[in-house]
Amino acid sequence: MIHTASLVHDDVVDDSPTRRGAASTNAAFGNKLAVLAGDFILARTSIALARLRNPEVTELLAKVMEDLVDGEFKQLKNTKQGDHEKPNMSTFEHYMDKTYLKTASLIANSCKATAILGGNTASIAELAYSFGKDLGLAFQLVDDMLDYTTTADEFGKPVGADLKLGLATAPVLFAWEEFPELGQLIKRKFSQPGDIEKAYELVWRSNGIEQTRKLAESYCQKAINAIQQLPPSQAQEGLIQLAHKVVTRTN
Ligand code: FPP
Ligand code: MG
């Protein structure tokens, strides 16, 4: 429910016309109703959480909601290093920090919460958290890559959306290492005529897409390593398959 509410709100923020191959809530009902619909889902979420009568799990999921909004704020600010000629560690760290907040926190803390609700030990709950965190980071890296590589029909939402929104994600940040002129475009958030087309072309001429895929694969492997510390089971096998699916998906 938190995920659904965040996407309903995200489509308002991004002014997106489609989601999962259909009209977005904002496109179908307008921004005001979409914001209220997201709020309503969150209200119902709070009731469901309270009914669990588990303060630790309630706190974990409340933190997820805070992280989602924090991540969205950080994304709106884009990169704080935009005025440097070359990307540096803090540019990428800022992107990964934002990625944890807007995507990985939900998966990590949900995995941890289910481990706690299942009556597991604190160390197993931490393994579940690690699995979810690395899976979430891999998921968003792939999402940011697919924004460059797939089609709107396959993706079920607009492609090339990030550059249009002024967002510098992993493919363009990696490409910036090879093509320093991207720094200026990133700084002005691809706002000048021709910026989007230029950035798109340089990303495709660079190794940015391949580097993004490799980074996603390394997080996916970290997630698998965490889950492999648990005793073998059908559930473990399912989670490993899920991790593989995250990096091979096309939509
Ligand atoms: C999708 O990102 C958006 C998110 C993962 C989080 C959005 C969070 C908010 C709007 C804050 C509000 C939070 C709550 C709990 C209601 P994206 O735009 O990169 O992905 P997309 O291409 O699927 O739209
Ligand atoms: Mg969006």
Q: What is the pLDDT of residues 64-76, one digit of tens each?
A: 999 999 999 998 8
Q: Which residues line ligand 1 (CB under 6 A)?
A: 2, 5-6, 9-10, 13-14, 16, 38, 42, 65, 68-69, 72, 102-103, 157, 161
2-13 and 31-51 helices, crossing angle to 10°: 160
208-227 and 170-178 helices, crossing angle to 10°: 130
Give the C-alpha separation, 169 to 70, whole Å.
17
Ligand 2 mean position, distance from CA 229 (Å): 35
Among 61, 72, 100, 106, residue to substitute to test ligand 1 (most atoms within 8 Å of Cβ): 72
Res 86 pLDDT > 80: no
Cβ-based burial of 32 (10 A; exposed 0-12, middle 13-18, buried ≥19) = exposed
Q: What is the mean pLDDT of residues 84-110?
A: 87
Global pTM value: 0.92
Q: What is the mean pLDDT of residues 221-237?
A: 96
pLDDT digits (tens, 9 = 90+) for 137-149: 999 999 999 999 9
| pLDDT band with cut points at 50, 70 and 90 for residue 80 | low
Q: How many helices (H) and strands (E) does the chain have?
A: 14, 2
Give the C-alpha separation, 107 to 135, whole Å.
8
Note the maximum CA span of the chain. 57
Q: What is the mean pLDDT of residues 18-42?
A: 97
Q: Which ligand is the nearest neighbour of the Cα of 74?
A: 1
Joined tokens for residue 145: 């890559």
- The single-letter code of the amino acid at 61 is L
Among 3, 4, 6, residue to substitute to test ligand 1 (most atoms within 8 Å of Cβ): 6
**Which residues lie below 8 Å from residue 213, measured CB to CB, with a gap of 6+?**
141, 142, 145, 247
Contact, 119 vs 197, CB < 8 A?
Answer: no
Nearest to 173 by CA among 194, 144, 153: 144
User: Could you identify the atom of ligand 1 that is nearest to the CA of residue 2?
Assistant: 15
Nearest to 120 by CA among 51, 46, 56: 56
Note the residue count of the chain.
251
